[in-house]
Amino acid sequence: MYDFDALVEEVLKQKPDLGRAKLDQLIEEKRSVVGGGYLTDQGALFLVAGELGVQLKGIDSDLTLRDLYIGANDITVVARVLAVYPVSTYAKKEGGEGRYRRLNLFDKNGIVRLTMWEELEAIERLGVGVDTPLRVASAYVKPSLDGKPTLNLGKKGKIEVLRDEGLITKMPSVSELQIDIAAITETDVIAVRGIVQSDSKDSEFTRGDGSRGTLKHFTLGSESGSKQRRIVIWNGSDLPSLRSGERVRVTNLRLKQQTYGDSELHGDSGSRIDVIQNESQGTLLLVVGSAGVHDSTEFLVADATRTLFHLNLKDEAVESARAVKEGDIIEVMGNEKYEDMIICTKSDSVKRVNAKSNLLPSLQSLFVKVKNVEVASGPLLMEVIALSKGSVQDVRLKDGSVVKKGELLVGDDTGEIKLAAWRESSEKLEGVQEGERLQIIGATLQRSRMNTPYLQIGRISSVRRMKGVSASDDNLRL
């Protein structure tokens, strides 16, 4: 992740009297003193540089959001995913069959189509689904049939799951942008939520080419009862059957005017239906990290499949979580369950479980090495050593506001990587000294504009200072 020779050159440039031989000796001595499998030569070099008062160049973690325009090339776009379509095929001009895949992306200004021509399986590998925040890098923009700009990714392009919490919080989610049926004014609809008025029905039809297709249709009413609309989803796969009275959210729809004057909402294979209901059975979870935010409490939790995701407690559920701490096993009765989050609002939503569970992973088994952060998914847990002092400084943003930004370089025996934290989270890096052993809980992978990976520390991330205790000590396990 760093050019070792370039770092050595920078140290010798600032300390010309030192000499390469002496610097190599200091690096080897530092590795021997620290030991414990925590340092590479590069990691030791960062510690030596700090003791010599040499400031090595850090990583630029600022992000840029580009507006789309037809003809744009090699641009980077940040947005959330609204729909993921299956792989499609087409006949190449030179013969043979080509493959492509479509996604619909959205933000507060609307919906844009993304067409991927390469690396189509990256969707499954990265776990991309509805509401996933993405960075689309090295994309180009072409007009669609209706003249609107569409994103395209070729051989140079790539997608990655966005982990920068400061940026993610500025990107409205599907649930924040969902609207009541009565409030629909635009043709493209991100999401509607309401009460099913009639049991859903499934039908088949024959296309012009003789192939068979399916459709699911039902009537959805607003929770106030003021408006109803018929919803038709063409060729949807794995959609649940619905019963009258169920509360649902439907994503990726278009408003279509019918010849008889009324209008319907139509979806396709990229549409999704979430049934929102009380869970009848509790789910056991391991609490990995937590943070209180105004009138809600957020937890980073792990389930029996070792998947890390968010638990959001609101309203009456907040009181039930007062005694919950990191390392606890809890049983959760979720009021609303989505792909990567459970939202609880009732007083009996969360209950601590005193006994240990063999179904859940240990905290220690969830830790990853620096070399593996780019292939890991979701929030990360790591045991590392600080290779620089934790620094916090004021940074002026493009809108003129000034926020605090913290930075810290860390490493283990497999490599080095920088931590970055913004605003209140920057305090978690303040005061950390070179050589301290740390546990990093809930960091997320991000990339700089130079495509360099770094780790983002957010509001439910923890930086635990281990004060010289071995990271393998059983007493550190939660």
Residue 148 DSSP SS3: coil
Q: What is the rounded distance in angstroms from the CA atom of residue 122 to the CA atom of residue 159? A: 8
Considering only CA atoms, which of 418, 413, 411, 415 is closest in space to residue 445?
418
User: What pLDDT, on a 0 to 100 scale, did the predictor assign at position 218?
Assistant: 95
Q: Across the 478 residues of the chain, what is the mean pLDDT of every consecutive 10-residue run?
A: 71 89 88 66 78 64 47 80 92 88 89 91 87 87 84 89 74 84 82 90 87 91 81 88 89 84 87 71 77 66 77 78 79 66 78 70 80 77 90 83 89 90 89 89 82 84 70 34
- C-alpha dihedral over 189, 192, 198, 201, to 10 degrees? 50
Amino acid type, 186: E
Angle of helix 4-14 relative to helix 41-52, nearest 10 degrees? 20
User: What pLDDT, on a 0 to 100 scale, did the predictor assign at position 349?
Assistant: 78
Considering only CA atoms, which of 29, 39, 27 is closest in space to residue 436?
39
Q: What is the rounded distance in angstroms from the CA atom of residue 86 to the CA atom of residue 97? A: 16
Helical spans, DSSP H, in 155-234: 165-168, 174-177
Domain 178-276 carries which CATH code? 2.40.50.140
User: What pLDDT, on a 0 to 100 scale, did the predictor assign at position 467?
Assistant: 63
Q: What is the rounded distance in angstroms from the CA atom of residue 215 to the CA atom of residue 233? A: 5
Common-topology check for domains 283-353 and 365-471: yes
User: What pLDDT, on a 0 to 100 scale, did the predictor assign at position 152?
Assistant: 92
Please tell me the number of Cα atoms within 13 Å of 140 on its side-chain side.
Answer: 7
**What superfamily in CATH does domain 283-353 come from?**
Nucleic acid-binding proteins (2.40.50.140)
Q: What is the rounded distance in angstroms from the CA atom of residue 162 to the CA atom of residue 78? A: 8
Query: What residue spans define the domains of the chain?
Result: 4-52, 75-168, 178-276, 283-353, 365-471
The 10s digit of each residue's pLDDT in 253-298 is: 999 887 666 789 999 999 999 887 544 456 788 888 776 555 567 8
> Pairing mode, if any, of strands 201-206 and 308-314?
unpaired
Considering only CA atoms, which of 361, 364, 225 is closest in space to residue 286?
361
Q: Which CATH number fits domain 75-168: 2.60.40.10, 1.10.760.10, 2.40.50.140, 2.40.30.10?
A: 2.40.50.140
Q: Which CATH architecture has domain 365-471?
A: Beta Barrel (2.40)
User: What pLDDT, on a 0 to 100 scale, did the predictor assign at position 469?
Assistant: 42
| CA-to-CA dists, residue 468 to 273, 471, 472, angstroms | 51, 9, 11
Residue 387 DSSP SS3: coil
- The secondary structure of 295-331 as a DSSP string is TEEEEEEE-TT--EEEEEEETTHHHHTTT--TT-EEE
Question: Terminus-to-terminus CA distance in the chain, angstroms?
Answer: 31
Considering only CA atoms, which of 83, 85, 79 is closest in space to residue 188?
83
